[in-house]
Chains A and B, each alone.
Chain A
Amino acid sequence: MIEARLLTKTFRDKKRGEIHAVDAVSFRAEPGRIYGLLGANGAGKTTTLRLLATLLKPTSGSATVAGFDVVREPEKVRANVGFLAASTALYGRLTAREMITYFGRLHGLADPEIKARLARLAVQLDMEEFLDRRCDKFSTGMKQKTSIARTLIHDPAVMVFDEPTLGLDVMTARAIVRFVRECRDRGKTVIYSTHVMSEVEKLCDTIGIIHDGRLLAEGTLAGLRTQYGEQDMEEIFVKVAGGEAKP
């Protein structure tokens, strides 16, 4: 379960002045459902997700993730979140097994427990053959699988995906999408950011459209279609984002 209440993040930049990357965003993501955050480049998706994963502290507003407050109990929040982004890379000089074991230990798991979970994940993700090879020699697909295993080793209740299919080929991207669905089916709360319309249509139970840091529209795909009188997600997005005049 994720609940954001008027979540706000302002950056101070020497050249650009104040940047309202996330501006009073409120939403709710439920267990067993996928919440899709749709937005253009620079809309504030990554910043929102980083706030939820407690990598950044909100300027104002608050959020609870898996029952813990992101400001007051950031370590407990992180213990219950699996965060996967294009910017979360692997240690190139470690093997996949070492990498995943390291994060298991950081999550306070005992070594036998890590071993058992890793064995299960390796079968599920079909990564047994490269488990003991160094990550810097991996193909993008192998890296992605290792990253997924890394986010799952502590079996988190909440999964946060930030454009996980960015730069992947169709087959690998489909594998990721399948995996995100599996997470939902196992009752996890999933939040998924993207700027690809088709992914949102296929994957997300609830869609939030974010633009210039603000959540401008929210609803199920069917709900948004009736609300904006358009079938195509792209048309809906343009209406939402373009129709709103900048203050």
Chain B
Amino acid sequence: MNWHNIVTVYLKELKDSLRDRRTLLSTIIIPTLVMPLLTFGVGKVASVVINRARGETPSIVILGGEDSPGVVAQLKASKKFRVVASTADWKQRIGDKQIRAAVRIPEKFEAGLRAGAAAPVVIYHYEGELKSMLGVGELEKFFRDLRDQTVTARLAERALPPSLVRPFEFSRENVAPPEKVGGNLIGGFVPYLIIILCFTGAMYPAMDLTAGEKERGTMETLLCSPVARVDLVLGKFLMVLTGSLSAMVFMLVSMGATAFIAGSMWAGGGKAAPLAAAAAAKDSASVIPMIDPLGLLGVLAMVLPVAVLFSAVIFTVALFAKSYKEAQSYVGPLVLVIIMPAVLGMLPGIDLNFRLALVPILNLSLVCKEMLSGVWHWEYIALIFGSSCVYAGLALALAVRMFNREDVIFRT
């Protein structure tokens, strides 16, 4: 190994890549834009849609209830929903989102109540449809209140205290610090994004520096130089790693900037105390709540060996291909292999254990989720960092080996 040669190769590849539009796009431009787009684009649209749905008064239909005028009148008087005339195709209309829900008041409902107990009320809704669910929520609240009123009235009639049916109250209170809340909401998503960008950042330089060079015929020119093959591989590999890390760094920096801008924007321009900003950001369905900066540093350290692993693996795979196109068809499916463990790690139920700590990518995803929410399991962190380094080292050794094989370099 000759560091002088490695640096020479690296600097040349860096200059070359900076002039390649595809590489610039995947390592700088897209990573910079992804967070702002997600936050201000998708995040904003989502919060607008939800708020509008909340703001609208749900339209409902009453089925039956001719012999229970009191309840019907109360429903009609409520400001929480708008009662529209019932038609025979009410089910269809729920499906078509013209009305949000229907409520069936059983025969002799009020008479039954007076006598003691009435037949059940049934609420019809469209499962999974946001607006229908909001309408149902309001209807349920209405009937729960009605039941409570009935109970209260009955207790009063018999001169019994309300504590007879409600012997105690309970409530809940949040003890998690704000960054912990952020970690759980977003903690799964940020590592996921980091993993994907590390991969796509390495992808284009890796294909360009291997299959691309074969296709353009510069590989043979390069191999004519007296530089040892291992130096060529390492110089090229460092460039691929640079692409991977640059994608991640650009994404994180732009994420920080986005969080800052979004925070002060959603704080309403008022006294933008950090906490108020975080709270404001949270309830406007923001994608970026407060994140523990120390956790972010930890994530960066953990990602390093994984970036090495990705770079070496993509480099090796792309080296087999004869052309850029062929390389794309090999590397493309790899994305799925990466995404699966990354998505698994995003699921709320899965937590770290010693076995999962050895699964590449999934372990990173899980440990990042913990670190971002301020939890530091040092024995897992050491195990994951160590195993990632071993995987990365193996992948890099494989890349060097493949580069030395003439049936890989001169494949026909």
Contact = CB atoms under 8 A, between A and B. Distances in A.
Given A87-B217, A102-B8, A106-B5, A56 B406 contact: yes
Contacts of A103: 221, 225
A87 B226 contact: no
A81 interface: yes
Contacts of A24: none
Contacts of A56: 406, 410
A197 interface: no
Interface string A70-99: 000001101101010101111111100010
Interface in B311-328: none
A190 to B, nearest CB: 16
Contacts of A83: 224
B406 A102 contact: no
B15 A78 contact: no
A93 to B, nearest CB: 4
Interface in B385-412: 406, 410, 412
Q: Interface size for chain B: under 10, 10 to 19, 20 to 34, or 35 or more residues?
A: 20 to 34
Main DSSP-derived SS at the A contact region = mixed
A93 B221 contact: no
Contact of A55 (B9, B19, B20, B223): B223
Contacts, number: 66
B216 interface: yes
B226 A88 contact: no
A89 B226 contact: no
B48 interface: no
Contacts of A78: 224-226
B144 interface: no
Contacts of B19: 93
Interface of A: 13, 50, 53, 55-57, 75-76, 78-79, 81, 83, 85, 87-94, 98, 102-103, 105-108, 147, 150-151
Given A57-B406, A93-B20, A106-B8, 17 more contacts: A50-B410, A53-B224, A55-B224, A75-B227, A76-B226, A79-B226, A85-B220, A88-B220, A89-B217, A89-B218, A89-B221, A90-B218, A93-B19, A102-B12, A103-B221, A103-B225, A107-B226
